[in-house]
Structure 1
Amino acid sequence: MSTTLHCQLPLPANFRAAGFFDFHRRDAQQVAERVLAHTLEKGLLWHGQPALLRISLQPEGAAASLLLDSGSHADDAARLTGCVRHMLGLTQPVAEFEAALAGHPQLGPLLARQSGLRVPQTASAFEALAWAIIGQQISVAAAVAIRRRFILAAGRQHSSGLYCLPDADCVAGMDEATLRAAGLTQGKAQTLLRLAAEVASGRLPLAAWQQAPDAAAIGSQLAAIRGIGPWTISYALLRGFAWLDGSLHGDVAVRRNLQRLLQREDKLSAPETERWLAEFAPWRALVAAHLWALQAGDGY
């Protein structure tokens, strides 16, 4: 029995819809996400079952619906609202951040030009972690291609035709050979399987952590998984938990665009970038997002 749920949310006057849609249209083949005019359609697993999330953005606000190929649960309406609010970045203190740094000589003008920028979020923390593991030390284009093959290999499809982002339970049931065939290296495949097993067992309660993220505790437990390092943790905290103080100084696009912002002829090293970002705690990752936005499509 199919079910459809709905919710509506107001949007700030300076909400940057283009940035939200750009994040979700990275894969031109639109295997699991497609952007049509002002609407995102995204395939995902909801309580382990295929679902289609549709988010439409208009000047009067966001309208979302969830099309389930199965019945709903009692808490699904509240969960849908929380998921959409999270994905749109509406929990992020953007106005406070922009006001605090408005007078900064380099960042102030950049923030004024990019006012309202929020960090689009993945639908789940596991999705953010999977993307971060896939994207370790490779280009965005290569990561997108591997992610697409990974989603297809999982084989979960909604009745709309869109494939669904696999959840931890789904990935835990996959094997290393399947992940290697999708393009993951042996190390990445093993890391992803270790992560999925920890989440599926309940030892890593990612969904509970999203309600009240403790970055230090989350980072500590993730770091104990072989193959997950500082960049992966910072990225996952940013995209999956909306934690805005990760230092993404190791990100190539952040360093390249900071070089442009500072009008430096020489490349910036990771330690130099880390020192520069340190001034902007507790918003270092949001600063990094503004640096990514200097070149659309340049960063993760």
Structure 2
Amino acid sequence: MSTAPGRPGASSAAEGVPGNRLRCRLPLPAGFRAADVLAFHRRDPQQIAERIQDAGPEPGLDKAFVWAGRAACVTIRFEAAALGNGITEPSQVRAECVIDGASGAADGYGDAVQADFERLARHMLGLAQPVEAFERAHAAHPLLGPLIRRNAGLRVPQAATPFEAISWAILGQQISLSAAVALRRRLIQAVGRRHSSGLLCYPDATSLLQVDAAALRAAGCSQAKADALLGLARAVADGRLPLDEWLRTLPVDDIRAGLLAIRGIGPWTINYALLRGFGSLDGSLHGDVAVRRGLQRLLGRAEPVGEAETRQWLEAFAPWRALVAAHLWTVKAEG
């Protein structure tokens, strides 16, 4: 997985330590939008699986999830650099992961896992996304260009794992964001294990398979969503969906075909999961209501913009259609 260019003279620094704790520092590109990362993980106001720290000189977040079968909590803190005239911006990130129950090399938590952790941190921050190339390519567009300039450096923050992104997309099908957040919270409470930090972990496929459809229904899922979640978890557990391998190699066609074979997963869910779970920036999110509303406002229309027109409009921006959709989400926020 490649990384975005950092500041001159900056380089990543591994700080792995014995036992169950991994550490690293990563350089950030100029103008990195730390607030976008915090906003993405602030979706649930009850903060049962994520905890946001806004106060103090180093804002950041704590995020708990099941990683490699163990309860893990990643801590990210943004360190600022002075730009002059009292202005600062994030220049590097300090990341740490505490893995409950691990005791270092004896449990396989050596150099390989340290490297995996650095990749995980880069992934969560969207540092592999080549947004600079997109901005250069479309800066002169009469409608999108001004939006790109207002959102310079916009990246798409990632879920910690592809499984989280796909299952979150399933939970969010055909309901409002607030309803989806509440449903996600109830799923975590029903299935998630507690990390030593006090946060509940977002479950992995194996954890989800510890419950049945009735338990998911009791947590608020429809029968269709319960079936889709369990179908996804079974396909991951039996190797039909090698999500970790796909994250490294990004075979988009294989990902689409594999996910489409799961009952209850359709094109919108796949494109959203590709964006939030794999960092793929070309899925067409024309079915997303917020994207269509953003396009309506960008075009200055009084009437809604339909899916077909949105799909056609986004097509001109391949291979960046999902990144354009992310910019259109900000039009909704500004509207």
Q: Using structure 2 for the length normalisation, give the TM-score.
A: 0.87
Gaps of 5+ in 1: none
Post-superposition offset of 1:295: 3.4
Post-superposition offset of 1:261: 0.6
Post-superposition offset of 1:133: 0.3
CA distance in 1, matches of 2:232, 2:131: 31
Instruction: Choose between structure 1 and 2 for higher RCO, CA contacts under 8 A separated by at least 6 residues.
Output: 1
CA distance in 1, matches of 2:255, 2:247: 10
Post-superposition offset of 1:22: 0.2
Structure 2 residue aligned with 1:263: 300
Post-superposition offset of 1:39: 1.2
| Residues 1:280 and 2:301 aligned together | no
- Which of the two has higher C-alpha Rg? 2
Post-superposition offset of 1:2: 6.0
| Residues 1:169 and 2:206 aligned together | yes
Structure 1 counterpart SS, 2:175 = coil
CA distance in 2, matches of 1:67, 1:215: 31
Identity of aligned residues (%): 56
The equivalences for 1:174-189 within 5 A come to: 174-189=211-226
CA distance in 2, matches of 1:201, 1:275: 38
CA distance in 2, matches of 1:224, 1:240: 18
CA distance in 2, matches of 1:149, 1:168: 16
Structure 2 counterpart SS, 1:295 = helix
Post-superposition offset of 1:143: 0.2
| Residues 1:245 and 2:282 aligned together | yes
One-letter identity of the residue aligned with 1:55: I
CA distance in 2, matches of 1:274, 1:260: 16
Provide Cα deviations, 1:115-149, integer angstroms capped at 9, x if missing partner: 00000001100000000000001000000000000
Q: Does the aligned pair in 2 maintain the 1:171–1:193 contact within 8 Å?
A: yes
| Residues 1:35 and 2:52 aligned together | yes
Q: Does the aligned pair in 1 maintain the 2:260–2:267 contact within 8 Å?
A: yes
Structure 2 residue aligned with 1:128: 165
| Residues 1:15 and 2:46 aligned together | no
Structure 1 residue aligned with 2:42: 25
Structure 2 residue aligned with 1:54: 75
Q: Does the aligned pair in 1 maintain the 2:192–2:207 contact within 8 Å?
A: no
The equivalences for 1:132-171 within 5 A come to: 132-171=169-208
Post-superposition offset of 1:297: 10
CA distance in 2, matches of 1:114, 1:148: 30
Counterpart among 146, 164, 167 of residue 109 in structure 1: 146
CA distance in 1, matches of 2:136, 2:122: 22
CA distance in 1, matches of 2:78, 2:190: 31
Provide Cα deviations, 1:186-217, integer angstroms capped at 9, x if missing partner: 00000100110010111110000000111111
Structure 2 counterpart SS, 1:162 = coil
- State the superposition RMSD in angstroms: 1.4
CA distance in 1, matches of 2:192, 2:317: 42
Counterpart among 71, 83, 96 of residue 65 in structure 1: 96
Structure 2 counterpart SS, 1:253 = helix
Structure 1 counterpart SS, 2:66 = strand
Counterpart among 236, 260, 278 of residue 199 in structure 1: 236
CA distance in 2, matches of 1:105, 1:69: 52
Structure 1 counterpart SS, 2:331 = coil
CA distance in 1, matches of 2:29, 2:132: 10
Provide Cα deviations, 1:235-277, integer angstroms capped at 9, x if missing partner: 0000001010000000000000110011011100000100000
Structure 1 residue aligned with 2:86: none
CA distance in 1, matches of 2:222, 2:256: 23
One-letter identity of the residue aligned with 1:35: I
Equivalenced residues, count: 298
Post-superposition offset of 1:155: 3.6
One-letter identity of the residue aligned with 2:70: Q
Q: Does the aligned pair in 2 maintain the 1:55–1:65 contact within 8 Å?
A: yes
